């Protein structure tokens, strides 16, 4: 046992004699701050020391440590490693450990940030992205989808050369549209391609380019938005879901609070993940949503059931952290907020515990809207709670309010009046 302990220490000693020695303490502190388990921290430090030992043998100075040197170590040294002492040879663990190394070195300014490609197309997309955020107020996720489509068109036409909109002809747009349409099985997906192209071409028109002929080259397909009813949980299914909450187990209080935020407030997954401690006014009973899909700030009433679930999580389960997010990670790095993916995963797991055959987290948002309508709320009130920019977005829920539709329906010809 003593021999193993000595060899582990000898391996970690390479942190203090290799090229990363000036930042050895910062690397160790990084894992302490992230509240990584001691065994995980020790394993990562051994892997980083292994890399430091290799880097010293290769006479790499600190400035030459980057993704390329990490790849060389993983591809060429690790599979044939003959290093003595306590070294590990798991590629995945080494890659994770060295990812932390690069993060710390860049945070300290010891190495340069990864070089970014800046072709003329990249520059054009950067300017268009700034326009979408500054002028149109589009959310980051929306802009990412638009840039993906526009980038495909521009790279197809210009490659790494200069962007000249005058060289794009209607036939090019139609051909590109046909290629993209083949990738989508539903009209809504094709419609997003058209919306992205039209948005970019309108941006170019605002710069003085003659693109009117291009705008008409791609038309959105017919998409009967209101042909189907939005899926929502029935009252009985809501009762099942609520009854399944408050179960004992790891991270269950966080799960209860997340489900309540989606069911009682109709919050999107990203909105749940972004809630801060300062956004909740416990005295006024309100919650402020910041940086929402419409890049606005909205103040909503905080239902008692939601507030109780959040309070129970904060008091009994939330780990100690300096992060101001309400929902934080329960595993390392613990000083980080949860992301939208974890919110969606939590809701899917809640469905399973309740015995419900669903997977979509957005289903709870639809359910909240349906329950509001059933309770007598108007479409305008539902639109306000859902924070829709246009009332037309909310109109799909009108078909769920069958009671009010019956009141305004005309008698069938020939029926008894």
Q: What is the pLDDT of residues 357-379, one digit of tens each?
A: 999 998 998 888 888 877 777 76
Separation between Cα atoms, residue 151 and residue 143, nearest integer Å: 12
Q: For residue range 304-341, what is the model confidence (pLDDT) as tens digits?
A: 999 999 999 999 999 988 899 999 999 888 888 999 99
Which letter does DSSP use for residue 328 in this model? B
- The pLDDT value given to residue 343: 96
Spatial distance between the Cα atoms of 65 and 56, rounded to a whole number of angstroms = 11
Burial track 58-94 (b if 16+ CB lie within 10 A, e otherwise): eebeeeebbeebbeebbeebbeeeeeebbbeeeeeeb
The confidence band for 8, taking pLDDT boundaries of 50, 70 and 90, is very low
State the CATH architecture for 235-403. Answer: Orthogonal Bundle (1.10)
| Alpha carbons 384 and 386: distance in angstroms, whole number | 6
Tell me the per-residue pLDDT of 70-91, one tens digit each, with 9 for 90 and over: 999 999 999 888 887 767 778 8
Is the per-residue pLDDT at 405 higher than 70?
no
| pLDDT tens figures, 31-43 | 998 889 899 999 9
Is the separation of the CB atoms in 21 and 108 below 8 Å?
A: no
Q: In the predicted model, what is the mean pLDDT of residues 264-276?
A: 92
72/181 Cα distance (integer angstroms): 40
Q: Which residues carry out catalysis?
A: 268, 293, 362, 365, 388, 397
Read off the pLDDT of each residue in 378-385 and give the average, rounded to a whole number: 73
Q: How confident is the model at residue 15 (pLDDT cuts 50, 70, 90)?
A: confident
Considering only residues 171 and 380, tell me which one the structure prediction assigns the higher pLDDT. Answer: 171
On the question of pLDDT at 406 being above 70, the answer is no
The encoded tokens of residue 62 equal: 């600190």
Q: How far apart are CA 329 and CA 199, in angstroms?
A: 37
What is the domain partition of the chain in residue ranges?
Answer: 2-107, 120-215, 235-403
The average pLDDT across 124-129 equals 95
CATH topology of domain 120-215: DNA polymerase; domain 1 (1.10.150)
Which range has the worst mean pLDDT, 40-54, 250-264, 371-385? 371-385
pLDDT of residue 4: 36
User: How many angstroms from the chain centroid is the CA of residue 366?
Assistant: 20
């Amino acid at each position: 046992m003593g021999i193993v302990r000595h060899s582990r220490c000898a391996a970690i000693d390479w942190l203090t004699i290799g090229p990363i020695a000036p930042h050895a303490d910062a690397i160790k502190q990084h894992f302490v701050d992230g509240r990584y388990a001691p065994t995980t921290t020790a394993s990562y430090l051994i892997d980083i020391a292994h890399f430091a030992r290799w880097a010293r043998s290769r006479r790499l100075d600190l400035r030459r440590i980057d993704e390329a040197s990490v790849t060389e170590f993983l591809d060429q040294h690790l599979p044939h490693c003959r290093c003595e002492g306590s070294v590990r040879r798991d590629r995945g663990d080494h890659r994770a450990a060295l990812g932390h190394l690069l993060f710390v070195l860049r945070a300290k300014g010891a190495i340069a940030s990864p070089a970014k490609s800046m072709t003329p197309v990249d520059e054009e997309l950067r300017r268009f992205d700034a326009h979408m955020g500054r002028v149109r107020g589009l959310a980051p996720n929306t802009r990412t989808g638009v840039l993906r489509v526009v980038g495909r068109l521009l790279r197809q036409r210009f490659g790494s050369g200069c962007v000249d909109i005058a060289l794009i002809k209607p036939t090019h747009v139609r051909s590109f549209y046909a290629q993209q349409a083949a990738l989508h099985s539903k009209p809504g997906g094709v419609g997003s391609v058209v919306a992205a192209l039209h948005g970019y071409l309108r941006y170019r028109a605002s710069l003085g380019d003659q693109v009117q002929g291009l705008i008409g080259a791609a038309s959105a397909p017919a998409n009967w938005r209101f042909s189907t009813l939005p899926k929502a949980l029935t009252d009985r299914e809501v009762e099942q879901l609520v009854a399944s909450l408050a179960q004992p187990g790891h991270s269950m209080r966080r799960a209860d609070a997340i489900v309540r935020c989606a069911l009682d407030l109709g919050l999107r997954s990203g909105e749940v993940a972004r809630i801060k401690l300062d956004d909740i006014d416990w005295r006024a009973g309100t919650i402020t949503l910041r940086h929402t899909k419409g890049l606005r700030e909205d103040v909503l009433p905080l239902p008692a059931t939601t507030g109780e679930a959040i309070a129970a999580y904060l008091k009994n389960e939330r780990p100690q952290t300096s992060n101001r997010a309400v929902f934080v990670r329960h595993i390392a790095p613990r000083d980080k907020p949860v992301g939208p993916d974890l919110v969606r995963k939590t809701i899917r797991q809640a469905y399973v515990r309740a015995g419900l055959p669903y997977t979509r987290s957005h289903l709870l948002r639809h359910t909240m809207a349906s329950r509001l309508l059933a309770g007598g709320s108007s479409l305008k009130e539902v639109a306000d709670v859902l924070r829709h920019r246009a009332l037309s977005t909310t109109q799909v829920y009108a078909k769920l309010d069958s009671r009010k539709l019956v009141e305004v329906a005309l008698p069938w010809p020939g029926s008894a009046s």
